[in-house]
Chain A
Amino acid sequence: MKRILLVFAAVLFLGSMIALPVREDELQREEGFTELSQIMVANEAVEAKEIPDSKGNTVITYESGAYVFVIGETENGWYKVSYQDKEGYVKKSVLTVQEFDVEGMDKEFQEIEAEGKLVIEEVERYRAEAKRSRIWGIIIVLLVVGIFATGIISTTRMGEEKKKAAESTDLFNGESGEKKEKQKIGEEIIDLDQED
């Protein structure tokens, strides 16, 4: 039981030791410093100082109309600002709060989202079209090749048949069968409308 209590006390001690620096930091910030975390606009060209004093070294330079990220404010009329891992102090008078048109922004975001959707749809459509094109290409090629092959096969077959017919007729009377058939048809044409 004693051992358990000892371990519990040790854990409590270690926990408080870890929490202590954080607490100390928070306390330091709370003294005359208010956190803001907001975007403001520089009214004019402005220089951010290392300390909240006009004589301090310049750390960051902002142009007029530049957006400034404000971390917080001090009691003596300075804003603490930040830019690319650098921090500095700027007089409150040179910054104004940027008011955002929430509805407008919402609309803009919606438009961007819709545009994105359209782009995705367009890409999808192109992909589908490319796929469809490929399928049609294959169908057309197959169709044409099929017709081509039919022509070639029928020519070969007809040639062979003609050869056979010629050989067989030559054996009997020496006259080609086709010529004889032509003559026969030529002699016996029937007129359907002769009675008229």
Chain B
Amino acid sequence: MLKKEIQKNKAELAIHILISFVIGVYPLLLFEFNIGSFRIQHLILVICALGVLLYCFLLIRSGEWSLHFCRNRLGFAIAVLTLYVFIKMIYKIIITNEKNLVSYEYEMTILALSALFFLIISKPELKVYYFDILCYSALVVFALLLMKYFCGDGADAVAAVLMKDKEGIASYTILVCIVGLWQYLKCKDRLRSFFYIGVLVIGFLVLFVNQNRVSIWIMTMVFLAIPIIYRPTAELVKKDMQMLFVFLFMLCNMSLLTNYTKLLLVDIHYDLEQSVYLELLAAIGGVFFFKYWDRIPEGVDLKRLVMRRMRRGYQFLLKLIGIILIGILLGGSCWSSLPDSFGMTAVKGFAISLVNEVYQGKSAFYLCFEQFGVIGSLLILNVCAFLITEVRRNYRLDKPATGMLTLVASVFFIQLLFWKVSISTLPVYWVFTVLAVSYKEEKEKVSISKIKFE
């Protein structure tokens, strides 16, 4: 019995180490190095994931560990996809001429992600230190990026993979900002809060200097989604708003930084007029927010005070900016024919650059069809559909950690519509998405009491 327990712990430990590695160390492997036709990133991911899976298989043989393969339709769909990719890979190896170097990167990635899925789903556990590891690791990546932006050198050799991939930077930064924000919202220690604020501020700066408009839009949506996904206590809303105003403040001042100083050594431009309109919008939003905030009676514990109407307001705003984004994208090239009247120049400038950016990017779904053909893509889309269903099923308002994982998974799926997620970030998103599907969190028990107004 004791031996069984130790073996089980060994497997669990191996999975935790693998997850920690994928979240904390793997995104730091940003240098370019090829072994044959394989990039080092793919090779390490496959070796680590399949290595741990093999280790767990050895424990299954002795009957001391169990992997839940086809526990549900999602597991079955992923097993089918893995089988298809495996067969395709073998077929590729057989038909390929010896002289030609064929890339198996995508197949290997799918195999590694499948292995990660089966490992996590066998014993889904979420450790708080996963988020902290990501924050610490992100600081190193952000330092390299800031060196590039402000000093113009140093980071190219070390972080070549990330430097070439603007979408990759955006994707990674959004993830870190979501995790940092969640940690900040839940943090009770003052000193610790400063750490998360530091991570967030640097993350925002990287996000703005990277100037991927879609990522900025997604991040704004994240701020608005937080009081919807979690129970909107006054404390949570306050902290969320603090960070939203920091975000907007930095965004509005980017035009000053780029147009009136030579601090940044990268070629970016923020329109001054757009910044002014954004500031106006933020000021109007602030008026409404503080008007509602004044309703809170004195002496009430903000951690226990729930603001349902505020939640409805956020829902409305989230829908509004979602519709605006869709409207802008559907508008396509028509935006350039807008007249240059008052306010229109700013709207036109923003819409055109957003549309161009979206149309220039290669979406992950396009990449699926390009790499895996129709059958493979249908299998992948099937997996995505099951994932979304399972994430929705697992999410509840009284499960805060699951809510956070759901938010990461949602952002992951939205990103797939616009660009392919970088190999450095994809496993991290995948780990959180699988946890969002499988993590069984204990529900928070709450009873609502009426507030007495004077």
Q: Which residues of A contact B (CB under 8 A)?
A: 129, 133-134, 136-137, 140-141, 143-144, 146-148, 150-151, 153-155, 157-158, 183, 185-196
| B447-A147 in contact (CB<8A) | no
CA distance A111 to B81 in the complex (A): 70
| A154-B234 in contact (CB<8A) | no
Q: Contacts A136-B150, A147-B202, A151-B132 hold; do A188 and B234 have CB atoms under 8 A apart? A: no
| B304-A147 in contact (CB<8A) | no
| B449-A192 in contact (CB<8A) | no
Binary contact readout B412-454 vs A (1 if CB under 8 angstroms, 0 otherwise): 0000000000000000000000000000000011111111010
| B451-A158 in contact (CB<8A) | no
Does B199 interact with chain A (Cβ within 8 Å)? yes
A129, A144, A154, A196: which contacts B142 (Cβ < 8 A)?
A144
| B450-A194 in contact (CB<8A) | yes
Chain A positions within 8 Å of B151 at CB level:
133-134, 136-137, 140
Chain B positions within 8 Å of A151 at CB level:
132, 135-136, 192, 195
CA distance A129 to B147 in the complex (A): 13
CA distance A143 to B140 in the complex (A): 11
Chain A positions within 8 Å of B147 at CB level:
137, 140
| B447-A133 in contact (CB<8A) | no
CA distance A134 to B231 in the complex (A): 46
Can you identify 28 A-B contacts, CB atoms within 8 angstroms? A133-B150, A136-B151, A137-B147, A140-B146, A140-B147, A143-B202, A144-B140, A144-B142, A144-B143, A144-B202, A147-B194, A147-B198, A148-B136, A151-B136, A154-B194, A157-B191, A158-B189, A158-B192, A185-B303, A186-B444, A188-B447, A190-B304, A190-B450, A190-B451, A193-B307, A194-B448, A194-B451, A195-B453
Q: Which residues of B contact A (CB under 8 A)?
A: 132, 135-136, 139-140, 142-143, 146-147, 150-154, 189, 191-192, 194-195, 198-199, 202, 231, 233-234, 295-296, 300-301, 303-309, 444-451, 453
Smallest CB gap from B154: residue in A: A137
| A154-B445 in contact (CB<8A) | no
Q: How far is the CB of B25 from chain A (nearest CB, A)?
A: 16
Chain A interface mostly:
helix
A140, A157, A192: which contacts B305 (Cβ < 8 A)?
A192
Q: How far is the CB of B147 from chain A (nearest CB, A)?
A: 6
Chain B positions within 8 Å of A157 at CB level:
189, 191
CA distance A134 to B142 in the complex (A): 17
Q: How far is the CB of B315 from chain A (nearest CB, A)?
A: 14
Smallest CB gap from B201: residue in A: A147
A148, A150, A189: which contacts B304 (Cβ < 8 A)?
A189
| A147-B296 in contact (CB<8A) | no
Closest 10 CB pairs of A and B: A147-B198, A154-B192, A151-B195, A133-B151, A154-B191, A136-B150, A144-B143, A193-B308, A193-B309, A150-B195
